Amino acid sequence: MKILKVPYLSNKEPTKDITKDDINYKLPKVTSKKEVKVKVSKDIIFSKKTLPIIAGPNGVESRELIFKIAKYLRKLGIKIIRGHAYKPLTFPYRSSQYKESLDVGMDWMDEVKKYTGMKVVTELTEIKYLDRLLKTSDILQIGSRNMQNLELLREASKSKLPIILKRHFGASLRDMLGAAEHILVEGNNKLILCERGVSSPHTHRSTSRFMLDVQAIVALKELIKYPVISDPSHASFWAPWVPNLVYSSIAAGCDGLIIEMHPDPKNSAVDPLQPLNFEQFKKVLVKSKKLSKLFNKEIV
Ligand code: PEP
Ligand code: MN
């Protein structure tokens, strides 16, 4: 743990909002004024001018599935595939349809990488999986449920890979930026923050568990110079709403997107209401490319 010699580390006036003292003494790195571009490869950069799209299924269900998806995405020019081999689930029971593919799933992702040249995002759920992830993942995702798992953040940071830090659905931006600062203090500044929906009294549909906090994207962009991305799929939980939430995220200034897709959504082993099918994904991509130009951004 780093000790900073600063006058204001106590919680004398605790607040949910971010104060000047927070910025100066608790969040100095994450709020530093210099723009940080997160480079994954020569042509994949998260920055003010670029907007990479991360797409793929929820879980790496099978070799066949992940290859089918990767080939389709590649054809559309998508360069980053997501898919989790290690899955945090809200409830401890799994449907008989879904088995966590674990290391075998990572082996399939490895093959996909070699075959398509795509970059891979997978979620790090526990430190014990880190070594295996490092062999394949180009970006580590810290899921919302682990946003404040400080030991996990520290170890992820030490890997030196780019990290997507997802906001917990009950966390303030102050808490999220505190978690981000934990990553930065370990010396890894390849940090990408992700808005993925918050718990809210009203989500306007019984199946929608969370509410995409578009305002958080705007607020974060005002506060920090790290890339901020949006995951409308996990926020709305409802595929028909995802396209418009993608467009609203672009309008809010996001620097990247996570969009869940699946060749046969209703038979997706996890969260079948959430992924777009191939055709729907393609349409969203075409429109997003046009829209992002209006905001001086290029989809990469
Ligand atoms: C996911 O990306 O599949 C996921 C579980 O995300 P979140 O942590 O936002 O729920
Ligand atoms: Mn998911």
Residue-wise pLDDT tens digits, 20-60:
889 999 999 999 999 999 999 999 999 999 999 999 999 99
Which one of 147, 234, 258 would you pick to mutate in the ligand 1 pocket, going by the greatest count of ligand atoms within 8 A of its CB? 234
Query: pLDDT exceeding 70 applies to what percent of the chain?
Result: 95
Q: Please say if the pLDDT value at position 13 is more than 70.
A: no
Instruction: Tell the burial category of 78 from Cβ atoms under 10 Å away from its Cβ (0-12, 13-18, 19+).
Output: buried
Residue 1: pLDDT band (50, 70, 90) is low
Region of residue 293 (phi > 0: left; psi between -120 and 50: alpha; otherwise: beta): alpha
Residue 14: pLDDT band (50, 70, 90) is low
Residue 259 in contact with residue 246, Cβ under 8 Å? Answer: yes
Which one of 87, 126, 144, 233 would you pick to mutate in the ligand 1 pocket, going by the greatest count of ligand atoms within 8 A of its CB? 144
Distance (Å, whole) CA 53 – CA 100:
25
Q: Ligand 1, residue 141: give the atom nearest the CA.
A: 2
Would you state the pLDDT for residue 21?
87
Ligand located closest to 84 CA: 1
The CA 156 to ligand 1 mean position distance, Å, reads 17
Q: 166 CB less than 6 Å from ligand 1?
A: yes
Residue 12: pLDDT band (50, 70, 90) is low
Would you state the pLDDT for residue 16?
76
Region of residue 253 (phi > 0: left; psi between -120 and 50: alpha; otherwise: beta): left
Q: Long-range pairs for 123-130 at CB < 8 Å and ≥24 separation?
A: 123/84, 123/86, 123/87, 123/88, 124/86, 124/152, 124/156, 125/86, 125/87, 125/88, 126/86, 126/152, 127/151, 127/152, 127/155, 129/86, 130/155, 130/156, 130/159
Q: What is the mean pLDDT of residues 4-8?
A: 60
Q: Ligand 1, residue 270: give the atom nearest the CA.
A: 3
Would you state the pLDDT for residue 6?
61
Q: What is the mean pLDDT of residues 80-91?
A: 91
The residue written with tokens 């199946």 in the block is 207
Q: Which tens digit of pLDDT belongs to each residue from 205-222?
A: 988 889 999 999 999 999
Distance (Å, whole) CA 252 – CA 214:
7
Distance (Å, whole) CA 221 – CA 219:
5
Cα-Cα-Cα-Cα dihedral sign, residues 95, 81, 133, 139: negative
Q: 168 CB less than 6 Å from ligand 1?
A: no
Q: 232 CB less than 6 Å from ligand 1?
A: no
Distance (Å, whole) CA 31 – CA 222:
10
Prediction pTM value: 0.96
Residue 270: pLDDT band (50, 70, 90) is confident
Q: 59 CB less than 6 Å from ligand 1?
A: no
φ/ψ (deg, to 5) at 38: -105, 115
Would you state the pLDDT for residue 95?
74
CB neighbours of 154 closer than 8 A, spacing ≥ 6? 182, 183, 186
Q: What is the mean pLDDT of residues 187-215?
A: 96
What mean pLDDT, rounded, does the chain reach? 94
Which amino acid belongs to residue 43?
D
Q: Which tens digit of pLDDT belongs to each residue from 154-168?
A: 999 999 999 999 999
The CA-based dihedral angle spanning residues 38, 44, 49, 53, taken in that order and rounded to the nearest 10 degrees = -100
The residue written with tokens 């989790």 in the block is 84
Helix (H, G, I), strand (E, B) or coil at 200: coil
Q: 132 CB less than 6 Å from ligand 1?
A: no
Ligand 1 atom 10 nearest Cα: 144
Residue 8: pLDDT band (50, 70, 90) is low
Q: Ligand 1, residue 197: give the atom nearest the CA.
A: 9
Q: 167 CB less than 6 Å from ligand 1?
A: no
Which residues on neighbouring strands pair with residue 198, listed in sequence order? 211
Residue 110: pLDDT band (50, 70, 90) is very high
Q: Please say if the pLDDT value at position 93 is more than 90.
A: no
Residue 274: pLDDT band (50, 70, 90) is very high
Q: Please say if the pLDDT value at position 153 is more than 70.
A: yes
Which one of 80, 100, 145, 192 would you pick to mutate in the ligand 1 pocket, going by the greatest count of ligand atoms within 8 A of its CB? 145
* Strand locations in 96-190 (E): 119-123, 139-142, 163-166
Candidates 245, 299, 263; CA nearest to 57 is: 263
Which residues on neighbouring strands pair with residue 142, listed in sequence order? 165
